[in-house]
Amino acid sequence: MDKKKTRDQIEDKYKWDLSVLYASDNDWEADYRKVEMQYTQLLNFKGSLTDHHKLKNFMPLYSDLSIIEENLSVYAIAHFWEDTGNTAYEEMKERIELLSSKITSETVFIKKELSSLSEEDIDKMIHANPQLEEYRFFLESYARYHPHILSEEAETVLAELGIVIGKFDDIFSAYNDNNIVFEEFEHHGQKIHLSHAKFSKLLESPDRELRKKSFIFYYRPFQQNIDVLANTYAAKVLANTKLVKVRKYPSMLEKSLFPDYLPTVVFGNLVEVVKENIDVISEFNILKKEELGIEELHFYDNYVPMAKEVDREYTYHETIDLVRSALEPLGSGYLKKYDDAIKARVIDVFESQNKRSGAFSWGSYASRGIVFLNHSGKFSDVSTFAHELGHCLHRDYSIENQPYLYYQNPVFLAEIASTLNEALLFDHMSKIADSREEKKFFLYHNMKRIEATFYRQTMFANFEKDIHALAESGGILISKSITDVYRKNLEAYLGEGMVIDDQLSCEWARIPHFYQVFYVYKYATSLSAAIALSVRITNGEKDAVKDYLSFLGAGSHKPPLEILDDAGVDLTKKEAYEITVRKFKDLLEEYKSL
């Protein structure tokens, strides 16, 4: 597909039809005016949400306006992202964002008043007005925060300080995204200009000298500015630990797990199973050395493909058919929803002028899931398609089965459906591979997925735990202490046979996710849950598909662990994580046998 085509030059069948959201811009304007005029009705309930009569009248109004506001946002932003040069949709995007911000700031009383309710208060209100029963979990999710809510004066101060605390993220982003300067270097007479994206590509180069030079020069600006970056990160960590004390949580880890109702054993099990099974990574390291023909394995060797890339393009229609075949184990009901999504034209397929890069799935409760792609024909695009359709159908199942308040999938669960689709796709591709090299390609990339998501993200998460524990115990956070903690994690998680260069010890200074505290572990738990579910399904376990489809429709109507447990995966035990390790071992043995 010509990357320089304008949107008008692309056939309609390859563009999403956002009339599923609004039939026209005029309809969008009508709803915008409706929300603009009616949201003030919410303000009439200020100071009265602890009254069951008032609350009964408030909840439908709150839900209805939220549904429309969401639909307005998705329509305007989706249209803008399909062509970022379209000023009309840019203006609509800005208008709804400003209106949403205004509504949020003027209705902060909702969180404050609902958080003041105790579980006893909720029971009394529902007893007095049984119609409130459908909102019980919604109200209880606020009531859980009751012990951690402060006085109105203190809450106001913390809200204002939130902007200041967020600036640490902005400082890192300003440096990492805009102001970082990579030195130019020469390789075989060619001048190399590094960037974040180019570095990733160069690490896949078969030229080892080029990889090593890229590695050294990429880390140089981080090493040169390590004290500034250490102080920035330390300020973020120290702010976290102070907020933990103010909010009366035992630790930053427990504060981070609290919104998803997670006990620390979920995090602890993940870390323990990974540490207990580092031998698999050591075996993988040996295989890499053998396949690459090198005596020492450095981290700059870690991303060189061991298997030759499949030299073929996948048309969009081939992608649809291939992914559909891979998802057949999910049954006819799932495949019908898959087919319906394709027919409904909710997928924007190809790259075009001014179109945003990347891929995602979004949608609104008033309509359905939509998918944004930039399909170019590589296998990675096939995998992306499977991933985003997993998100899309997860949303559709939730919309079908849950009221608005419970349809959004929490982050802890959201990546499971997409990752499960990828797991089924990779297994399918390994089975139908036409040649030994093709089979090795899919097995290798499946192993790399587990290494990068299960092992590496867990290492990141454990580093976060160690750093926050150091801060909470009164330890000093400077560049040396942070780097020492990170190196210990590298030594614990990279396996035997991996040489840890000094540059890699400073890797912590370039990881943006460390400014979103305790986020990365969810990648590992999601992968483990997805693999465990896929194994249940492909092994033909009784009710495995039925349980999974119920999971897709569960939304957030009860705690995430209970929703996952209903599907047959218990993350409070080690078994789910051990299934991921066994999967890795099986892939490794199959690869070696070829």
Residue range 380-415, pLDDT digits in tens: 999 999 999 999 999 999 999 999 999 999 989 999
Q: Report the interhelical angle of 575-593 vs 436-450 (nearest 10°).
A: 150
Q: Which of 10-24, 101-115, 158-172, 322-336 has the lowest mean pLDDT?
A: 158-172
Residue 38, amino acid: Q
DSSP letter string over 188-252? TTEEE---HHHHHHHTT-S-HHHHHHHHHHHHHHHHHTHHHHHHHHHHHHHHHHHHHHHHT-S-H
CA distances from 481 to 271, 437, 466, 484, 505 (A): 22, 45, 11, 5, 11
| CB under 8 A, 24+ apart: contacts of 192-196 | 192/217, 194/218
> Which class is domain 180-224?
mainly alpha
Residue 2 — very low, low, confident or very high, per pLDDT cuts 50/70/90? very low
| pLDDT value for 252 | 96
Q: Identify the residue with better confidence: 156 or 441.
A: 441
Domain boundaries, the chain: 23-149, 180-224
Contacts of residue 345, defined as CB under 8 A and 6 or more positions apart, other chains included, come to 12, 13, 15, 16, 17
Beta strands in 316-415 (DSSP E): 347-348, 360-363, 369-372
Q: Identify the residue with better confidence: 208 or 2.
A: 208
Q: What is the mean pLDDT of residues 515-535?
A: 95
Question: For residue 315, which of 398, 381, 253, 243 has the smallest C-alpha distance?
Answer: 381
| pLDDT value for 158 | 81
| pLDDT value for 4 | 63
Residues in the chain: 594
**Rounded distance between C-alpha atoms, residue 385 and residue 361, angstroms:** 10
**Do the beta carbons of residue 296 and residue 499 sit within 8 Å?**
yes
Q: What is the mean pLDDT of residues 541-566?
A: 97
Q: Do domains 23-149 and 180-224 have the same CATH topology?
A: no
Q: For residue 1, is pLDDT > 60?
A: no
What are 327's two structure tokens? 């998802």
Q: What is the mean pLDDT of residues 245-251?
A: 95
**Rounded distance between C-alpha atoms, residue 70 and residue 201, angstroms:** 38
Q: Which of 145-149, 334-338, 551-555 has the lowest mean pLDDT?
A: 145-149
Q: What is the mean pLDDT of residues 558-566?
A: 97
| CB under 8 A, 24+ apart: contacts of 574-578 | 574/269, 574/272, 574/273, 575/532, 576/528, 576/529, 576/532, 577/269, 577/270, 577/273, 577/274, 577/454, 577/528, 578/273, 578/277
Task: For the beta carbon of residue 417, count every other beta carbon within 10 angstroms.
Answer: 27
Question: For residue 190, which of 221, 214, 168 has the smallest C-alpha distance?
Answer: 214
Q: Which residue has the tokens 């329509």?
A: 75
| pLDDT value for 163 | 76
> Residue 298: beta bridge partners?
499
| pLDDT value for 177 | 87
DSSP-derived letter for residue 548 is: H
What are 109's two structure tokens? 């009383």
**Rounded distance between C-alpha atoms, residue 496 and residue 282, angstroms:** 5
Q: Tens of pLDDT along 128-182? A: 999 999 999 999 999 999 889 888 788 778 877 877 888 899 899 899 988 999 9
**Do the beta carbons of residue 359 and residue 348 sit within 8 Å?**
no
Q: For residue 3, is pLDDT > 60?
A: no
Residue 9 — very low, low, confident or very high, per pLDDT cuts 50/70/90? very high
SS3 category, 1: coil
What are 476's two structure tokens? 């000093």
**Rounded distance between C-alpha atoms, residue 286 and residue 33, angstroms:** 64
Percent of the chain with pLDDT over 70: 99
> Residue 361: beta bridge partners?
371
Task: For the beta carbon of residue 499, count every other beta carbon within 10 angstroms.
Answer: 12
Q: Which residue has the tokens 């400003």?
A: 98
Q: What is the mean pLDDT of residues 89-105?
A: 93
CATH for the 23-149 domain, from 3.40.50.2300, 1.20.140.70, 1.10.3470.10, 3.40.50.2000 = 1.20.140.70
> Residue 360: beta bridge partners?
372
Q: What is the mean pLDDT of residues 75-96?
A: 95
SS3 category, 357: coil
Q: For residue 37, is pLDDT > 60?
A: yes
